Structure 1
Amino acid sequence: MSAVLPDLPYAYNALEPYICEEIMTLHHKKHHQTYVNGLNAAEQSFAAAATPREKIALQAAYKFNGGGHINHSLFWKNMAPAAHGAKHGAGCGGVLKPGPLADAINQNFGSLDEMKKQFNAATLAIQGSGWGWLVLKPNGSLAITTTPNQDPVIDAVPLIGIDIWEHAFYIQYKNVKPDYLNAIWNVINFEEAEKRFVHKNSGL
């Protein structure tokens, strides 16, 4: 079954003023679509490969495009229109309600603000492009980790992922990554993250 570009669960301008419509449109329609196309092409080539050598040669393209598709499919869902300051109607973005995820964050990091601080620091330390993640580890604890390029999280459940590739922020925030990372927390969908936490499954 071929991969398809998922619909956004909100309008392209719904995350303004924190993530502008132009970024969301290009990011979804162009960049994510490119990963979908690349994944489908890699799968077709892999199926047609006649030797182990040919299949091994395709693994890099499969990992890059497959990871890009997985990561972005998670990314769209872990954002929502902001509860405060939204231009086009308030949503649940940026609000962590009392519950299992809030309890786990407080237990593992001391507070939501401290978790954000550690998350931003780890993500800013990425050299080049990649992703910052809040994950649920197999032992039940929360952790902050990063992956390079489009590598997906394999050994834990990704609860929140933030894209630090330039196409995710440069039009609006230029090269000031800290401003982008501070802003995006206003549209993080903690309700979606809590579902992943409770069910121990990212849905992908």
Structure 2
Amino acid sequence: MEVKIGGTTLSLVIGDITQADTEAIVNAANPSLMGGGGVDGAIHSKGGPSILQECKKIRETLYPDGLPTGEAVITSGGNLKAKYVIHTVGPICDGFMTEKEKQLLSNAYRNSLTLAKIHNIKSISFPSISTGAYRCDKKEASKVALQTVIDFIKENPNWFKEIRFVLFTEDIYHVYKQSLEEILNVSD
């Protein structure tokens, strides 16, 4: 699914974010920034050791206690197609999301987009942050994610060429598609 908001194309695709050809991809990282499972592990594995080395430097210099939930940092893309990886930490949930968890998730998307803008990045791909091992409700998380991105686009018209959600399964794709249709009050 693809919609145009101002000069930005917002798209939903099923796929592997490590294969995304946008300038940046977003890593649903854990606070240690040392890799892990799911998206995080795949990005570190396919991106190669340079990403981990940059993450170690970030931990040593900026975040010795780990990256706080909702914050974002940037590294090179290593061996990935993307030139950059933006690492952000989403909230850990127990199913349905509290208002605090929704705000932290929104911060993760907003801070990732802000960092992309600072680095003059015009195209970026996101996974579905916090809906895997971090167990946030997929429907609620998709609405937070999409609304945050749409609001950012409206506040920064014509900045991004493309913001893409690369969703790993058909199931999560359909959740995001339904949420996007509800938010925009459209269907394709």
TM-score normalised per structure 1 = 0.24
Q: Which one has a larger percent helix, Structure 1 or Structure 2?
A: 1
Structure number with larger C-alpha Rg: 1
Q: Which one has a larger percent strand, Structure 1 or Structure 2?
A: 2
